[in-house]
Structure 1
Amino acid sequence: MKYYFRLSKNLLGTFGIVLVYLSIAIIQILRKSDHFYYYVGPILCLMLIYLFVNNYKSVMLGLRKKPLLEANETYVFDGVNNIKYYWIDIDVIDADEDNRTLYIKVNDPAKYLKFFSNFYIRYLYYSKRKERFNINLSCVKADMKNLITTLNNYSIQAQEIDGSKV
């Protein structure tokens, strides 16, 4: 099952806040009162960096019409980070419907941590304390209850396939 991009409230909200700060900064520049701009400028930059880092890959996959999340009886594919979590390695998979986040706990995290290029990205997507990977589903077009049901069905199918091989 493939899940594609959707415009989320978080993405639109963050973009809206950036536009408000940008308009305030432009007004302050036009008034030649750059005193306030010194406070707005850094906040605007931080918001743009946050928006860019957290949503760039999701938006690019959406524009290319590629799935952000894919699940079948063999693996769960995180298209944003380009990682396949194989069911044979997954201990627990859980979802938080309120935060639209998928949590995957694997039996060997080091095997999957090598796919994350730097510390910041690793920090965003892996919780060392809880030993689980996080997949942000805020930009994924899916009903959370149906997604959880689908993932549970695929995990059962994976256990049956794995059990038949032994």
Structure 2
Amino acid sequence: MNNVLYPYYSIKLWTDSAIFLIITFLLILLTLFSNNQPFGIILAFFLIVLTKNRIKRTIKNLYRNLKNQPAIELTGAYFFDHINNIKIYWHNIDKLSVISIRGNTYVNFILKDKIEYAKQLDGFLSKILFKLPNPEEIAIKTEISLVKGRNEDIYNSIYKFREAKKLYNFQTNNSTKPA
């Protein structure tokens, strides 16, 4: 199976990133220079801590877009979401679906082993969410509205890759079993 690479949808990526970065930096600056000191400095510090990983990820995605690197990569072994810097192995995906949240389209993954996924997360809050007693309700999703192409075609390609991998594993497992 050949690798499939999907580039970023530049206009949406740059628009969403600019809005996020401008609002975040304005909030930080407004709290830093507010009249309610030292509360403003403390609040600005917490805003920086909470948004640090998202700011890094946004800048990384803008850089990857400028370098014409892919947003999503499908290989024989895994689905690599460069947007969130997450690798999901095909054997770990139980179900796939498409969801829409506030005008953005996502591929929603239901995983067999969420601990394998959680090890890749950066950020204190993200890791804590997966240590809660019932992390099954936490959505694992990739925003495909940031990827160039029709959302349905991208989802279908991901689905076909997963199904082909399941079929290959099924055939391999059955051919190696003794009769």
Alignment TM class, shorter chain as reference: 0.5 to 0.7
Q: How does 1:111-126 map to 2 (within 5 A)?
A: 111-122=116-127
Q: Give 5+ residue unaligned stretches, structure 2.
A: 175-179
Mark the CA change 1:128 to 1:149 in structure 2 (over 3 Å): closer, same or farther: same
Q: Does 1:13 align with 2:19?
A: yes
SS at match of 2:121: coil
Structure 1 residue 152 displacement after superposition: 1.6
Deviations 1:128-158 (A, max 9, x none): 2425423344543343212111112212211
**What residue identity is the alignment partner of 1:120?**
L
Deviations 1:35-71 (A, max 9, x none): 4899987777776666653242243244243323212
Q: Does 1:76 align with 2:82?
A: no
CA distance in 1, matches of 2:139, 2:25: 35
Task: Identify the residue that residue 88 of structure 1 maps to in structure 2.
Answer: 91
**What residue identity is the alignment partner of 1:159?**
K
CA distance in 2, matches of 1:107, 1:40: 43
Query: Is 2:108–2:142's contact at 8 Å kept on the other side of the alignment?
Result: yes
RMSD over aligned Cα atoms: 3.7
Off by >4 Å, runs of 4+ in structure 1: 18-25, 36-52, 123-127
Name the % identity. Answer: 17
Task: Identify the residue that residue 159 of structure 1 maps to in structure 2.
Answer: 166
Per the normalisation by structure 1, the TM-score is 0.67
SS at match of 2:59: helix
Query: Is 2:115–2:130's contact at 8 Å kept on the other side of the alignment?
Result: no
CA distance in 1, matches of 2:75, 2:137: 25
Q: How does 1:9-158 map to 2 (within 5 A)?
A: 9-18=15-24, 35=35, 52-64=52-64, 65=67, 66-97=69-100, 98-122=103-127, 128-137=135-144, 139-158=146-165
Per the normalisation by structure 2, the TM-score is 0.63
Query: Is 1:105–1:132's contact at 8 Å kept on the other side of the alignment?
Result: yes
SS at match of 1:115: coil
Q: How many residue pairs are counted as aligned between the two chains?
A: 160
